[in-house]
Chain A
Amino acid sequence: MTPDTKTLIRVSDLSKVYKKDKELVHALKKVSLELKAQESTALVGESGSGKSTLAKIILGLERPSSGAAYCFEEELYKLSAPQARPVYKKVQAVFQNPVKSFNPRHTIAYSFKKHMQNLGYERDKITERSKEVMELCQLDPSFLKRYPHEVSIGQCQRAAIARALSTRPEILICDEATSALNVSVQAQIVKLLKELKQDCRLSLLFISHDIALVSEIAESIHVMHEGCIAESAKTQDIISHPQDDYTKALISAVL
């Protein structure tokens, strides 16, 4: 790690408590982690381990109960929409269900346009840039005219990645971005993300329950279990020498 790499995401002592049927659910318990520039990190854990909650808090979609999550030194959940725009220009997300992450009433082109307009992209270059990112994600630009339900789920996820990359972000958070896809499409999307990571100098925060998939793309892995980070290490080390019992179980289940 070179000393000049800057920290893009810094999470410190983050806790989140939900109230569900009068019982308190601790989704996150004092989680801390960092993401540095041009690094790709993965969060792995079974459903309910709190990894998606963590992503939502980093993206400012939910508020933490205590602690803080900084994204480019800003706590997104504290900002109003206009204040958050400069940050969202640099950090973008791809969600689990690609078809549902587009408004069913708008064409893909319209969703792209609104996205870029809000994030301050030059208006007269929006159409051109839309086509450019579609090609970058290996999609025919004619798909822009379609509605989200008129394209296949894999194509839709490519479009979602294209939308996220349209404003040239520095970090892409992929929240279970491949879970809704079948195995072959999954492999294509992972390949695409790997290429984009190189070409666009992206940092990735890859969230998944699939440790085998994650080990292909991430340089380091944080294993989450019941709201805590059970183990953090380089991908190689974690696969070959897991320390934590939970990590061992997770790996032996796959391999």
Chain B
Amino acid sequence: MSVLKNTSPKLIVFSAAVIILLIVAALAPLIVPHDPYAQDLSQALLNPNSAHLLGTDRFGRDIFARVLMGAQTSIYSTLVLVFFTSVIGIFVGVAAAWFGGIIDSLLMRTSDVFLAFPALIFAIAVAAVLGGGIQNAILALVAISWPKYARIARSLSLEQKGELYISAAKVGGASDFQIIFIEILPNIIGPLLVTSVLDIGTMMMELAALSFLGLGAQPPIAEWGSMMSDNRNLLQIAPWTVFGPGLAIFICIAIFNLFGDSLRDRIDPKRRKK
């Protein structure tokens, strides 16, 4: 109950929005008004109307249905991406801070190498080597994004490392594994969680950008980035084909960012002290 008492109405509203988003994306195949993959050339490039809320594309596929289906691909791949990025990054960062010395240098120099690449160019290179496809796009973005988490986790852990409770745990016979997972991690997870939620927006955009470049989701899979890319030639004659997925990306990123902001207000250690 005390958790709810301290929760701002903002946070409740945005968490509800995120949950609705996730449910809609999960249930997309059941709630789409039309088959998102069925082509009907007689219905091509229709204006938005009551039957087709966001109009149709040049193959006569319903844009609204495709945007809903795309939510599944876009949102869940982004969540997978953010999850793996942060887990790998956090583990590397805490380990570097705790073991120090040569392990620290080795891990941090490796992360420097990855940080030195321009993100999108590296992702393009990975996609070029491994081929297109949403899994490879995720792999490329994980490879390029983990160092950020490693750096944050390392500096947060270094602050904790000198604390007395770590000494107490060591004298209590705690192993390195226990110190990392039981002692340090619970004390640094808050800010890291906020960072990863705030990163969902950016990651979604990067994933969409890769798809837009043809390196992410492959047609005919409905994905917002690739939908925009497919239809970009039609921007002048049928703008709704691009606006639909564009609007979806915008709304989604806005919701996740606002959720991240209110979560930060809740978890931020400076505010928590009050």
- Residues of chain A having any CB pair with chain B under 8 Å: 56, 59-61, 81-82, 84-85, 88-89, 92-93, 95-97, 100-106, 111, 114-115, 118-119, 160, 163
Contacts and interface: CB of A to CB of B under 8 A. Distances in A.
A129 B18 CA distance: 46
A37 to B, nearest CB: 20
Contacts of A100: 163-165
B173 A103 contact: no
A94 B142 CA distance: 44
Interface string B36-51: 0000000000000000
B186 A105 contact: yes
B182 A114 contact: yes
A93 B165 contact: no
Contacts of A95: 164, 167-168
Contacts of B170: 60-61, 81
Given A61-B170, A103-B169, A118-B174, A96 B186 contact: no
A131 B178 CA distance: 24
B178 A93 contact: no
Given A118-B175, A160-B168, 9 more contacts: A85-B173, A88-B171, A93-B168, A95-B164, A103-B187, A106-B182, A106-B186, A114-B182, A118-B178
Contacts of A93: 167-168, 171
Contacts of B172: 88, 114-115, 118-119, 163
A56 B175 CA distance: 18
Contacts of A88: 171-173
Interface string B176-190: 101000110011000
Nearest to B166: A103
Interface of B: 163-165, 167-176, 178, 182-183, 186-187
A61 B176 CA distance: 13
A119 B167 CA distance: 15
**Candidate in A56, A102, A103 with the most chain B CB atoms within 10 angstroms:** A103
A5 to B, nearest CB: 24
Nearest to B173: A118
B171 A92 contact: yes
A123 B224 CA distance: 54
Contacts of B187: 103-105
Contacts of A85: 173
Given A95-B167, A101-B168, A114-B178, A119 B186 contact: no
A60 B171 CA distance: 8
A234 to B, nearest CB: 29
Given A103-B183, A105-B186, A114-B172, A96 B164 contact: yes
A88 B169 CA distance: 11
The 10 closest A-B pairs by CB, nearest first: A118-B173, A105-B186, A115-B172, A81-B175, A85-B173, A100-B164, A101-B164, A101-B168, A103-B165, A119-B173
A163 B169 CA distance: 11
Contacts of B163: 100
